[in-house]
Amino acid sequence: MDPIALSLLLLAGAVVLLVGELLLPTHGILGLMGLICLAGAIGATFYINRWLGLGVFLAAVVASPFVWAVGLRIWERSPVGRRVLLPPTEAPRQVIPVKLGQVGTAFSEMRPMGEVDFDDHRMEAISERGIIRAGQKVKVVNVTNGIPTVRAV
C-alpha cells in the first residue's frame, strides 16, 4: 500500500475512533485505538519523508490542546456527557445583613470566633482582640468574606 494512502487512512481512522470515544461509553478503548492510529499515521509520514513526518508530528503536538478543548465542548453537550456531568450550580449571592459600625450582642463566648445577634440576625463573627464574653455588646469594625470582625464596646 502507498505510504501516503496509509497515513491518510490511519488519520481518518484516528479521527473516527476519537469521535466515537467522545460519544460512546467505551472506557477509553476507542480513544486508545485512535491514539495508536494517530501514531501510526505520523510514523507513515516519517517513512515518506523525515521532514514531513517532523512537521506532521509538531502540528499534532501544537493542535492537540485545541482539539481536546473543542472535543470536551462537544462531549459535554452529547447524550453521554449530559448524563455524566452534573448541571452547573448557581449559588445565590449572599447578602451580608450587617454594616460597619453596627452594634450587636455576643450570643456565645468568642474565642476568637462565636455567634453574635444583630437585631434579628444571628451569625458567626470573629473578635478583633481577645475573648469576648457572652452577652457583651460588640461593634462591627470590618467585614471579610462575609464574616464580620467585632470589637467589644
What is the Cα–Cα distance from 152 to 106, expressed in whole angstroms?
Answer: 9
Average pLDDT for 133-141: 94
Looking at the predicted structure, is the pLDDT value of residue 33 above 90? yes
**4 grid coordinates:** 501516503
Give the span between the Cα atoms of 34 and 15, in whole angstroms: 7
Its pTM stands at: 0.52
Predicted confidence (pLDDT) at residue 138 exceeds the cutoff of 80: yes
Biggest distance spanned by C-alpha atoms of the chain:
89
Domain ranges of the chain: 3-84, 103-152
Superfamily of domain 103-152: Nucleic acid-binding proteins (2.40.50.140)
